[in-house]
Amino acid sequence: MSGGIGRIVVGVDGSTASTDALRWAARQADLTGASLEAVTAWSYPTTYGFPVIADVDWEKGALTVLDEAVDKALGREADVTRRAVEGHAALVLTEAAQGAELLVVGSRGHGGFAGLLLGSVSEHVVTHAPCPVVVVRHPSTAEPA
């Protein structure tokens, strides 16, 4: 997947929809010779408007979720650049897509409402990304045939 003509960025949050998006993006990278970059966003949790102060490595936790998702979807030896970036997922993915050939996201990740066609992150990147966007729908979110 590396050393190709372009770069494909895929948003990963550990949800089933993002795992499907990761698999789709990996197949596309193989077909086109593009490199694959899996990106997850993380932020410090807040409570009542104040940051939670705890001895927790939030970035490491996000990387663990990312590694587990990549390992599950593509295998431990997958040739994927992995990045965990602090910030809101929609903004992180839009920024990560700068200079990319394609941005791939799942239709709904964690925190989505059942029945929505798009989640807030996928809706944002579809309208603001600097490159084409593919939204991969998980079969359970697709309309019945």
CATH number at residue 72: 3.40.50.620
Q: What pLDDT shows up at residue 114?
A: 46
What global pTM score does this model have? 0.81
66 close to 82: Cβ distance less than 8 angstroms: yes
User: Is 27 among the domain residues?
Assistant: yes
Enumerate the β-bridge partners of residue 54: none
User: Is 118 among the domain residues?
Assistant: no
Q: What is the pLDDT of residues 28-61, one digit of tens each?
A: 999 999 999 999 998 876 666 666 566 778 788 8
Total domains in the chain come to 1
CA-only gyration radius of the chain, Å? 15
User: Is 144 among the domain residues?
Assistant: no
Domain range for 14 is 1-81+108-113+125-137
- Where do we find the tokens 């964690």? 110
Q: What is the pLDDT of residues 72-98, one digit of tens each?
A: 999 888 899 999 999 999 999 999 999
